[in-house]
Chain A
Amino acid sequence: MIRLRGVRKSFGARDVLRDVGFDVAAGEVACLIGPSGSGKSTILRCINGLESHDAGTIEVDGMTVTPQSLPQVRAAVSMVFQRFNLFPHRTALQNIIEGPVHVLGQPLAEATARAMALLERVGMASHAQAFPRHLSGGQQQRVGIARALAMEPRAILLDEPTSALDPERVGEVLKVMRDLADGGMTMIVVTHEIAFAREAADSILFVDNGVIAEQGPAAEFLANPKTDRTRLFLSRVRHPI
């Protein structure tokens, strides 16, 4: 479904991605973990074309990601942002129908009906008419997930979806993500939530210094990390003090 081979990306003199390669199969949930600045978010942004990669190939749903293929690629993969990035001048409902109506050209009534169903699914139906500034972080992120789903994507990229939330609000967003994963959605999640990775992820990829330093099935990866670097990272995430 999503395949990266030899992907490189540098910002000026700084090499952010140095030879990144991995596969995510349809229906698979892959978690990218790793220290800040290791390149996790950049990987997601390259897949969806928000950043262009300098070398290597990225394939999404059989399409190679190039400037020409970006419209089709973006129709196939939606993204959820760390800071939600909801449109502040539109209600929760309007945020969700924005893409379907103004990009996909769906009739308003049909898009609205589908958006309401999605709001129901993320537990936000009663806030359909609320503007983002009147919603908590967790509520905004659930709308953000519904907005991504409204594009009927083949895969969803989530960039630290719970990092900007109050600790009390993390659970409600993780639950929505968990339901998505159980429903068979292909997902790549950049996260520090090891508990979510353990329960919902099929595979875990440890990104360090611009490369995939280690990867494996989630349970095995967490139980038996192979390298010292991975062990050190996991122990620091699990036991911060």
Chain B
Amino acid sequence: MQEFLADAALFLPVLLRGLGMTLLLTIAALAVSIALGLLWVLMGYSRFAPLRWISRAIINIIRGIPIIVQLFCIYFVLPEWGIDLPPFAAGVFGLGIAYSVYQAENFRGGLSSVDKDLIEAGTMLGMTWPVLMRRVVLPLGIPAALPSLGNTTIMLLKDSSIASTITIAELTRAGQLLAISTFKNGTVYLLIALLYLAASLPMAAGVRALERRFARK
């Protein structure tokens, strides 16, 4: 125990820097995934059929390819075509694009929960499709999507560890380097697990709070 605490005191500053990078990566990728997810879902709701087909095709393609392969494509393959992203940007876009399909599904669930009667009320008032979206469907549908969006964020936090494979010094990678150089696998990976938990448990509490709030309405 003494030894564990001494090692922990030594390793924690490094691991906390890694956790900082993990959180930064998660938040940036979350923003990308939300923006793209919203784009896919709005395209999916479009009255212009080709936009709906494109949306469905993108979702099926992205969903069918493992995240790690997508990251490798962006980090190792795109440079061959002249698009050379630094590791962090590659990680943000890779995770963001991969997660956009789950976000699209979250938003689709939220938007489709909006009462058809309210859409009729807006239509009756003469609202065009964009106004109806902006004034009725999105303000009611997005809050309804928040709990599942929170769950997806927790998954994203954990899957950000995949970015360790493209040299980003986030929590998992920082830990791997420590473990390799010190051979203290037990201590290092226990600390890593605890740090991921410390970040995800507050998020889970936030999701439950959101769920309670919408159950009450």
Contacts and interface: CB of A to CB of B under 8 A. Distances in A.
Contacts, number: 52
A81 B117 contact: yes
A82 to B, nearest CB: 9
Interface residues of A, number: 22
A104 B121 CA distance: 15
Interface in B102-141: 115, 117-118, 120-128, 131, 135-136, 139-140
B126 A81 contact: no
Interface centre among B122, B124, B140 (most CB of A within 10 A): B124
Given A71-B126, A99-B125, A103-B126, A85 B120 contact: yes
A48 B120 CA distance: 11
Interface string A125-138: 00000000100000
Contact of B123 (A50, A88, A89, A147): A50
Contacts of A208: none
B213 interface: no
> Interface range on chain B: under 10, 10 to 19, 20 to 34, or 35 or more?
10 to 19
A48 B122 CA distance: 12
A83 B117 contact: yes
B124 A79 contact: yes
Contacts of A71: 126, 128
B142 to A, nearest CB: 11
A99 B139 contact: no
A66 B127 CA distance: 16
29 contacts: A48-B124, A50-B123, A71-B126, A74-B123, A74-B124, A74-B125, A74-B126, A79-B124, A81-B120, A81-B121, A85-B115, A85-B117, A86-B121, A87-B118, A87-B121, A87-B140, A88-B140, A88-B217, A89-B139, A89-B140, A98-B125, A99-B125, A99-B126, A102-B127, A103-B125, A103-B131, A133-B217, A151-B125, A151-B126
Interface of B: 115, 117-118, 120-128, 131, 135-136, 139-140, 217
Interface of A: 48, 50, 71, 74-75, 78-79, 81, 83, 85-89, 98-99, 102-104, 133, 147, 151
